[in-house]
Amino acid sequence: MTLVLIHCSAADASVWDSVREHLFGIPVLAPDLPGRRAAQPPADEWLELAPGVDAYAASILRDMDQAGVERATIAGHSLGGAVALWLALHWPERVAGLGLVGAGARLRVKPEIIEGLQDGLREVADLMAAVGFAHSVRDRYRVAMLRMIHSVGASASLADFRACDRFDVMEGLREVRCPTRVLVGTEDLLTPPKYSAFLAERISGARLTEYPGAGHMLPWERPAEVAGELAVLWAATSRS
């Protein structure tokens, strides 16, 4: 059983690097979403397509097909969580288990993020660096966050946040049938704990884990704990 990891908005698959260091012996597929690094199409074309979460999900299915992965345990962070949820709802035969990290069934985005990205990156990057982390670790990760957002660029980031802003599966969650783990930091400002509680209440059998004092960027802030939870999910779904 492969563990597929789907990254958040304004980022690439490298956000999972620290988590992967703790996933000993688990086959991992962590693709870049379209519009960044070598992923196709390039950012401006991707933005032009006005992709919804369904289009991001289709790109993950193509990555799974290319890797010969028919069915996987699928975990996603933020936008990646939306993509993973979409797959569980629309392609249940491809999803053996679901990991939702700093996620939500609806992901409305602050207008200042979307409007700011239309004018460039600078101020939004600062804002994301400020709200992405728990207060106590903000300074430690600020530069890495700024570097990541600048490397992804405004077009791909804008496509990502617009897709999040339109995402809403709040009515459909009871259709999710696979084993599910929901992970959230208690200081998450972008997908507040309320969103994870909502997921865990409505997805049958879902287990919620809260990380006291952690913010939205759980894969950076708590890589060992996130890996531990995903490894348990992977082991449970590998047996089924």
Collapsing DSSP to helix, strand or coil, 141 comes out as: helix
Q: Which residue number, 28 or 88, has a Cβ lying nearer to ligand COA? A: 88
Q: Which residue number, 96 or 182, has a Cβ lying nearer to ligand COA? A: 182
Q: Say if residues 89 and 172 touch (Cβ distance below 8 Å).
A: yes
Write down the least CB distance from residue 65 to ligand COA, Å: 27
Using CA atoms of 59, 60, 63, 69 in order, give the dihedral in degrees to the nearest 10.
Answer: -150
Tell me if 6 contacts ligand COA by CB under 6 A: no
Query: What is the size of the binding site for ligand COA (CB under 6 A)?
Result: 16
Cα gap 53→73, rounded to integer Å: 19
Transcribe 60-87 into DSSP letters. Answer: HHHHHHHTT-SSEEEEEETHHHHHHHHH
Tell me if 190 contacts ligand COA by CB under 6 A: yes
Give the residue nearest to ligand COA (CB).
Answer: 104
Q: Which residue number, 94 or 162, has a Cβ lying nearer to ligand COA? A: 162
Tell me if 194 contacts ligand COA by CB under 6 A: yes
Q: Which residue number, 168 or 225, has a Cβ lying nearer to ligand COA? A: 168
Residues 33-52 that bind ligand COA (CB under 6 A): none
Tell me if 191 contacts ligand COA by CB under 6 A: yes
Cα gap 72→158, rounded to integer Å: 29
Which residue in 78, 155, 157, 180 binds ligand COA (CB under 6 A)?
Answer: 78
Tell me if 2 contacts ligand COA by CB under 6 A: no
Cross-strand pairs, 74: 4, 98
Residues 94-153 that bind ligand COA (CB under 6 A): 104-110, 113
- Residues with Cβ within 8 Å of 101's Cβ and at least 6 positions away in sequence, in order, are 75, 76, 77, 78, 80, 81, 183, 184, 218, 219, 226
Tell me if 164 contacts ligand COA by CB under 6 A: yes
The residues that touch ligand COA, with contacts defined as CB under 6 A, are: 9, 78, 104-110, 113, 164, 190-191, 194-195, 198
